[in-house]
Homo-oligomer: A and B are copies of this chain.
């Protein structure tokens, strides 16, 4: 009943037979840890090479209870930030000999990932999408599944968490625009579900208040999703006000790129008439078409940290749950006319 030509049904038993050793010895040679007579090892390796044998990963996985697969959950691949994260996470995982299985939730549910851990299909999960509403994820965490939150974090959850300091990032933006003497400060914000968004906009608000320049509510608009289009529309609305803002802070870069295009479409000069500031420093922010001042997250360090934590967690070193928060950096570009902070 087996399908015509499975393309290499060799097992370690076949190798054992061909090398005139026991199957156990083949396994020992493969894992390398255990003692095997050098000449025996050579003989076995020769046969393996010759017969082009590859061990069956699933059998190994079942026996060792480790697949080598790590799940990564992102919310929207259409936001270039996430491909950038995937690229970096992929690198880190590959270096650690792990594979990356990707779930793109489009802001719906992370249930699939949670299930996969519970079914031992992945050893652990790196989650960029967590919010306090992530129920299945929360359950997985409570069951002590190996989960690490990165980028978006959720205070109080008993798991490892890696973020960058969104509060500090937003404060540096607030300080910057006030110091530069901007008068009409606009904000394009989002639903405060994700910690990233929430921290950014609330820190921005309160810092401005501290500085004696509280936000004018009429210059604040909230988008219900994060895309070029929503940014475009929101910025269009603000620009069409009788008294439009002279600077806009956007809670992330995609929104800011949309805003930049809205300005372009209306012939509004940036930075002449309008300053524009984003958040994340995605690659495109640096392109001449946008030349966007923004706040950079240390993605590489975050990814490195997250993978390290997850590996510890998977290997069962049941340390306490770490919470890592890394510093950000204000990157000043042409969309704010080079009024650099003193430093």
Measuring CB to CB, which residues of chain A are less than 8 angstroms from any residue of chain B?
3-5, 7-8, 54-59, 61-62, 65, 67-69, 77-78, 80, 82-84, 86-87, 90-91, 94, 99-104, 112, 115-116, 118-121, 143-145, 228, 232, 257, 260-261, 264-265, 283-284, 287-290, 316, 318
Taking A54-B118, A121-B68 as contacts, is the C-beta distance between A4 and B261 under 8 angstroms?
no
**Complex A-B: 29 CB contacts under 8 Å:** A4-B316, A5-B144, A7-B143, A8-B118, A54-B115, A54-B119, A55-B119, A58-B58, A58-B62, A61-B61, A61-B62, A61-B121, A67-B121, A68-B121, A69-B69, A78-B87, A82-B83, A86-B104, A87-B104, A91-B104, A99-B101, A99-B103, A99-B116, A100-B103, A101-B101, A257-B287, A261-B288, A264-B288, A264-B289
Cα distance A65–B2 in the bound complex, in angstroms: 11
Min CB distance A160 to B, Å, is: 15
Q: Is the CB of B56 within 8 A of A120?
A: yes
Q: Across the two chains, which residue of chain B brings its CB closest to A286?
A: B228
Of B59, B61, B77, B112, which one neighbours A83 at CB under 8 angstroms? B77
In the complex, residue of chain B having the shortest beta-carbon distance to the beta carbon of A2: B316
Asked whether A57 lies within 8 Å of B316 as measured between CB atoms, the reply is: no
Residue of B nearest to A115 (CB): B54
Other than the known A77-B87, A82-B83, A90-B102, what 9 A-B pairs have Cβ atoms closer than 8 Å?
A3-B318, A4-B316, A7-B145, A8-B143, A56-B62, A67-B121, A77-B86, A90-B103, A264-B289
Q: Smallest distance from the beta carbon of A303 to chain B beta carbons, Å?
A: 13
Closest 9 pairs (CB-CB, A-B): A3-B316, A7-B144, A57-B119, A57-B121, A261-B288, A83-B83, A289-B289, A7-B143, A77-B87
Q: How far is the CA of A80 from the CA of B232 in the complex (A)?
A: 20
Q: Which residues of B contact A316 (CB under 8 A)?
A: 3-4
